[in-house]
Structure 1
Amino acid sequence: MTDKLKTEGKFTYAEAGEGPAIIVLHGLMGALSNFESTFNHFSKNGYTVLIPELPLYSLPLLKTNVKNLAKYLKEFLEYKKIDKAILLGNSLGGHIGLYFTKHYQEKVSALVLTGSSGLYEKAMGDTFPKRGNYQYIEEKTRAVFYNPEIGTKEMVDDVYKIVNDRHSVIRTLAIAKSAIRHNMAGDLPKMKQPTCLIWGKQDTVTPPEVAEDFHKLLPNSDLFWVDECGHAAMMEQPEEFNKILQDWLTSRNI
């Protein structure tokens, strides 16, 4: 998706389509390209889709946390003059969306969470591959998926680069710790927005019981399962993911 990226001021993002805004929030190890199918589908079907590149490794260390990433999202919405948006997040991206919603409910028309952190304290810390040889990193990266072939060499190379760079590792650990600190369990019952939970049945990072807990705690949520699917449904089963979300948005008139 690098050919679709544009940089304006401090924001680098992809944007396409016309209609209500869907803001896509990527995860800690998630490239923007993970959402390419979703980006293409919804930008051609009545929505403006925007994927900002989150400053995971460029904020000052003391500001590298869920709170400041949510603040960055607020600044991005203000820059794009978007008053209200659908937030779609995977893993850490879902957590940032939830934290943002807690503080700016009036700016969120709906939430879409897939493999989101925010409840399960091991969602980040235990799955971040520690430094090691390439084969170890490859195994850990591919284990995120039901079908390990989804974990391409390019993806493994990106993770290997991150975990062997001290600057990136320190910030990754800071984000993981802040994700644990900002557990959302007490906040979810107050979030009245329509929420679509799309979860891989074989997700080992945020297992199925995490989705069920989100569903119980979010008062206006619908839960959908995707079979033969791990932590990133929009990558592993993109057509099914897009159909579930399209049907849900239509049924909710969003």
Structure 2
Amino acid sequence: MDLVLKEENGFKFIDEGEGEVLLLLHGLMGALSNWEHVIEKFRHKYRVVIPMLPIYDLPLLTTGVKSLSKYVNKFINYKKFDKVILLGNSLGGHVGLIYALAHPEHVKAMVLTGSSGLYENAFGGSFPRRENYDFVKEKVEFTFYDPATATKELVDEVFETINDRNRVIRILAMAKSAIRHNMAKEVHKITVPVSLIWGKNDKITPPDVAVEFSQLLPNSELHWIDKCGHAAMMERPHEFNELLEPFLEKLK
């Protein structure tokens, strides 16, 4: 499907469908299209909204997970959303957790998949061979269980991004901010229903991260997707949606 990127008041976002708001938050290297199958499946029953997080546009000194959470807050206030169901992958999950702690009145429920916030085995502290296409391809493939999920289009996108000096500096700053901002002592305060949908073969936020989240979040349920890496909604979209749908139905 062709996603239409809207621009209003300095915000860029996708907004499809009508009804209760599903607010989707993408990861550090993630594109809005990562959520394509979720949009396709749920836009007939829900209003599916994906703000483009300004990862590359923040001043370097304020590039961090808390700044992104503040941006989400401004966006939700601008759109006058009352309560949203937050879905976050990787860094997006981390941003969603920070937002849910700061603004519980606006969060009805959460869905986390491969979320950072506790521990992550990210790209690392640098990109020592970022000019090397095969090196970048290998790193992108690491994200998935099946390397074929890392299409040439996806690898090209990441290669271009990390060879842009302005962008790579901010990616590294954001990654360091996420690692520093460990939420183990805070997430127990999030009492809304949380569904953890996790790839059994996630090498970036491994299965023990999901188990720890399920122990710390008081109102959570944990579901596994086999033969699946860090971005379940991309790699196993059918299974992801099959687990997401009953959780959303229970919230009605």
TM-score of the aligned structures, taking structure 2 as reference length: 0.96
Shift in Å, 1:79:
1.1
Q: Secondary structure at the match of 1:239?
A: helix
Correspondence 1:35 to 2:35: yes
Shift in Å, 1:42:
1.0
Q: What's the counterpart of residue 154 of structure 2?
A: 155
Aligned 8 A contact 1:23 1:51 in 2: yes
Deviation string 1:184-206 (CA, Å, 9 cap, x unpaired) is 11111111010000000000000
Deviation string 1:146-204 (CA, Å, 9 cap, x unpaired) is 11111111111111112211111110111111112211111111110100000000000
Q: What's the counterpart of residue 15 of structure 2?
A: 15
**Number of residue-to-residue matches in the alignment:** 251
Deviation string 1:203-251 (CA, Å, 9 cap, x unpaired) is 000000000000000000000000110000000110110110001121x
Counterpart mapping for 1:172-183 below 5 A: 172-183=171-182
CA distance in 1 between partners of 2:2 and 2:62 (Å) = 27
CA distance in 1 between partners of 2:65 and 2:83 (Å) = 20
Aligned 8 A contact 1:114 1:232 in 2: yes
Counterpart mapping for 1:234-245 below 5 A: 234-245=233-244
CA distance in 2 between partners of 1:129 and 1:91 (Å) = 19
Q: What's the counterpart of residue 51 of structure 1?
A: 50
Counterpart mapping for 1:1-254 below 5 A: 3-44=3-44, 46-120=45-119, 122-124=120-122, 126=124, 129-130=127-128, 131-250=130-249, 252-254=250-252
Shift in Å, 1:124:
3.2
CA distance in 2 between partners of 1:50 and 1:37 (Å) = 13
Percent identity among equivalent residues? Answer: 54
Aligned 8 A contact 2:93 2:112 in 1: yes
CA RMSD in angstroms comes to 1.4
Shift in Å, 1:89:
0.3
**Distance of aligned partners of 1:111 and 1:123 in 2 relative to their CA distance in 1, 3 Å threshold:** farther
Equivalent AA in structure 2 for residue 187 of structure 1? E
Q: Secondary structure at the match of 2:27?
A: coil
Equivalent AA in structure 2 for residue 93 of structure 1? G
Q: Following TM superposition, where does structure 1 have runs of at least 4 consecutive aligned residues deviating by more than 2 angstroms?
A: 122-130
CA distance in 2 between partners of 1:191 and 1:104 (Å) = 10
CA distance in 1 between partners of 2:231 and 2:134 (Å) = 22
Structure 1: gaps of 5 or more residues: none
Deviation string 1:111-165 (CA, Å, 9 cap, x unpaired) is 1000000000x34352875424001101110121111111111111111112211
CA distance in 2 between partners of 1:128 and 1:108 (Å) = 35
Equivalent AA in structure 1 for residue 9 of structure 2? G
